[in-house]
Chains A and B, each alone.
Chain A
Amino acid sequence: MAHAHESSKKRIWIVLIMLTLITTVEVALGIVKPPYLHLTSILGTSPLNWIFIILTLVKAYYITWAFMHMEGEKKMAKTFCCLDSSFLNLLFSNAIVN
């Protein structure tokens, strides 16, 4: 385990703020649903949906990297987990074409 032994509290709080901000933005967009994002379409779905999916992936990155300490794992382990999840995300975005 390549754990940094100095306390990583500062990073934890930054990640909390980031996750909260992203969720707030998502909910605000979900309630307002600006027509130019909601009623138009690119790549099979509305830009609003793409924004939601991308923001979700950003949140997933923060949770796995910072909270699950994936950044501290060996490169091989990282590669396997990421290959797996990116394959799945491909599956999601194919299936969920709103």
Chain B
Amino acid sequence: MEVNIAIPSDSKETWNGGGVKPFGASYGKMMMWFFIVSDALTFSGFLAAYGLTRFKFIDSWPIADEVFTHFPGLHGVHAPMYYVALMTFILIVSSVTMVLAVDAGHEMKQKKVAWYMFATIIFGIIFVGSQAWEWKNFISGSYGSVKTADGKILQFVKEGHQIALSDFVVNKRTDERVQHTKYNGLWFEKEETISTYSIAQIKEAYQSNSEIQIRSELIDPETKQKVILSREEGLAQLSKTKLVVEGANLEVNEYGNTIFADFFFFITGFHGFHVFSGIIINIIVFFNVIIGTYERRGHYEMVEKVGLYWHFVDLVWVFVFTFFYLV
């Protein structure tokens, strides 16, 4: 139990635990493990909250592969999850380059460590960029929907496939509504972006096109698909519309429950922030490798420590990926 005994050490050794190594791990590494365990608890809390909320709204939760359907360069192609899969792969590869950097550090090969660190940073940047792109698609939305006075999202389908508002609303807007800005003399304050189509316009388009049906939020437990309403039922629901929704924000989103988007922004955002911090720390360590700090120190333990953090971020993504996109 020498762990618990204060060992006198000279001042030089104070900040690295004075040579005391609980579990055979150095002070710095031990602290990184403590941080990782506590951060794991934080993420677990978020994911558990997500799971609980989802369970509560399980009869109307948005279906992930209907939400995340974009792939760069493929416009209008239904590509569920391909891009997230690619992002996951990129993060795994960055973990591999990181572990190769640690490995090269054990062999004291400065140049190799620098190159592997560089690759890790690049892959990390690609990942964060991809996440930003996902957010952009999520925020701007692809189909558009309407929200009823009792808070239900209604989407539009044709022959069983979801269609965008712009695909069937062809009639003219009749309410003469234009964006108010303080420059056009209509209003003294700016207002939020008004929807492309008015409620009346959508209703009219629905009534004039018998091929269009309305899809409710509710999931049929038998088929695990969203329930499509009959034309009459659809019209009844559509009459309750109070808002046209295009895209997503923290208050409303076109995919379904508000809290779905809230969790998406919060959890992927928190993870993305971790990746971002990881990139910054990686860059600092990268420059230290280049100027030979660790060569002089005689070991590359700092690379190992930042490696632990980086792998942890990868580990968290594995769970986020499963619970957000797959389950």
A-side interface residues toward B, CB under 8 Å? 1-3, 5, 7-9, 12-13, 15-16, 19-20, 23-24, 26-27, 29-31, 38-39, 49, 52-53, 55-56, 59-60, 63-64, 66-69, 73-74, 76-77, 80-81, 84-85, 88, 91-92, 95-98
Contacts and interface: CB of A to CB of B under 8 A. Distances in A.
SS class of chain B's interface: helix, strand, loop or mixed?
helix
Nearest to B55: A97
B51 A95 contact: yes
A67 B314 contact: yes
B25 A1 contact: yes
Given A63-B95, A95-B48, A27 B85 contact: yes
Given A52-B326, A56-B319, A59-B318, A95 B55 contact: yes
A74 B3 CA distance: 15
B327 A7 contact: no
A95 B224 CA distance: 19
A47 B157 CA distance: 29
A47 B162 CA distance: 28
A82 to B, nearest CB: 11
Interface of B: 23-25, 33, 37, 40-41, 44, 47-48, 50-52, 54-55, 58, 65, 80-82, 85, 88-89, 92-93, 95-96, 98-100, 102-103, 106-107, 222-224, 304, 307-308, 311-312, 314-315, 318-319, 321-323, 325-327
A79 to B, nearest CB: 10
Contacts of A73: 23-25
A17 B308 CA distance: 20
B54 A39 contact: no
A57 B203 CA distance: 48
Contacts of B321: 56
Contacts of B312: 68
B41 A52 contact: no
Contact of A27 (B82, B307, B314): B82
A20 B106 CA distance: 26
A17 to B, nearest CB: 10
A11 B177 CA distance: 64
Across chains A and B, which 5 residue pairs bring their CB atoms closest together, nearest first? Answer: A95-B51, A96-B51, A77-B23, A27-B85, A56-B322
B54 A63 contact: no
Nearest to A88: B44
B65 A20 contact: no
Contacts of B314: 63, 67
Contacts of A38: 224
A3 B106 contact: yes
A63 B318 contact: yes
Nearest to B58: A98
Q: Identify which of B81, B95, B327 gathers the most chain A CB atoms within 10 Å of its CB.
A: B327
Given A23-B89, A39-B222, A73-B23, 13 more contacts: A12-B103, A30-B325, A56-B321, A63-B314, A67-B99, A68-B308, A91-B44, A92-B44, A92-B319, A95-B47, A96-B54, A97-B51, A98-B54
Given A67-B95, A67-B99, A92-B48, A2 B24 contact: yes
Nearest to B319: A56
Contacts of B41: 84, 88
A18 B304 CA distance: 23
Nearest to B79: A31
17 contacts: A1-B24, A9-B100, A12-B100, A16-B93, A16-B96, A26-B322, A30-B80, A60-B318, A69-B304, A73-B23, A88-B41, A92-B323, A95-B48, A97-B55, A98-B54, A98-B58, A98-B327
Q: Counting chain B CB atoms within 10 Å of each CB, which of A13, A68, A92 scores highest?
A: A68
B33 A49 contact: no
A39 B220 CA distance: 11
A48 to B, nearest CB: 8
